[in-house]
Chains A and B, each alone.
Chain A
């Protein structure tokens, strides 16, 4: 089993749609969780950290379920500019960063 697994993509959605990505992790000692966004041929950039209580940033909502060992990212009212690959990242304290394989999102007009 991979340490971090994401929904296989790609996701093709119309503008204005709501889309959700899921990510599961195997190490129960993991303490930090993040969603990164990567545009084509660019470096990944932090989209948002994921906190135990869940957190929201505009159209984006991240949730963490420690009992089931998964995190999710919800994007509401999708924009064309949301088209990118979304990477789930897990990090135990003092341990290495572990990336999921990424889920590609394509938002169409």
Chain B
């Protein structure tokens, strides 16, 4: 089955640690996105990539890093510089440069700092 998979579903991090969230898609989509959602809030864009080996900062990129070495994979690292990382993280993918093509989301990762 084609789809987009995020792992893990739940993640606990100690303060000062870096953690990496996985996002993999087998839809052959060019574009991939990372969003953060806080309780009762909308989605805020962290990073996005429209092609392998290229990515752009979103609205809240500070304290996060990404890589796009393969078309299928777009991992997000939450670094210790991110002061308030507890949130729901969503990854999405989309065929790029075409009209009327919706994005598909993974099931999300809930990150909690303990």
- Chains A and B form a bound pair: yes
Chain A: residues with CB nearer than 8 A to chain B?
31-32, 34, 41-46, 49, 51, 87, 89, 91, 93-94, 96-102
A43 interface neighbour in B58, B90, B100, B101, Cβ under 8 Å: B90
Tell me, yes or no, whether B103 is within 8 Å of chain A by CB: yes
> Given contacts A97-B94, A99-B43, are A45 and B105 in contact (CB under 8 A)?
yes
B42 interface neighbour in A31, A46, A101, Cβ under 8 Å: A101
- With a cutoff of 8 Å between Cβ atoms, the chain A residues found around residue B42 in the complex are 87, 99-102
B97 interface neighbour in A41, A42, A93, Cβ under 8 Å: A93
- With a cutoff of 8 Å between Cβ atoms, the chain A residues found around residue B94 in the complex are 91, 97
Q: What per-residue 1/0 map shows which CB atoms of B84-114 lie under 8 Å from chain A?
A: 0000101010101111111111111000000
Q: Which of A42, A87, A97 has the most CB of B within 10 A?
A: A97
Q: B97–A94 contact, CB under 8 A?
A: yes
CB A41 to nearest CB in B, in angstroms, measures 7
CB B58 to nearest CB in A, in angstroms, measures 8
- With a cutoff of 8 Å between Cβ atoms, the chain A residues found around residue B19 in the complex are none
CB B70 to nearest CB in A, in angstroms, measures 20
Tell me, yes or no, whether B48 is within 8 Å of chain A by CB: yes
| Chain B residue total in the interface (Cβ 8 A) | 28
B41 interface neighbour in A42, A49, A93, A101, Cβ under 8 Å: A101
- With a cutoff of 8 Å between Cβ atoms, the chain A residues found around residue B61 in the complex are none
Q: A49–B108 contact, CB under 8 A?
A: no
Using CB atoms, name the residue of chain A closest to B40: A104
- With a cutoff of 8 Å between Cβ atoms, the chain A residues found around residue B104 in the complex are 46
* 12 new A-B contacts at CB < 8 Å, known A43-B108, A96-B33: A42-B107, A43-B90, A44-B90, A46-B104, A96-B45, A97-B103, A99-B35, A99-B42, A100-B42, A101-B41, A102-B42, A102-B43
CB B42 to nearest CB in A, in angstroms, measures 4
- Please report the C-alpha to C-alpha distance between residue A87 and residue B88 in the assembled complex, in whole angstroms: 16
- With a cutoff of 8 Å between Cβ atoms, the chain A residues found around residue B96 in the complex are 94
- With a cutoff of 8 Å between Cβ atoms, the chain A residues found around residue B25 in the complex are none
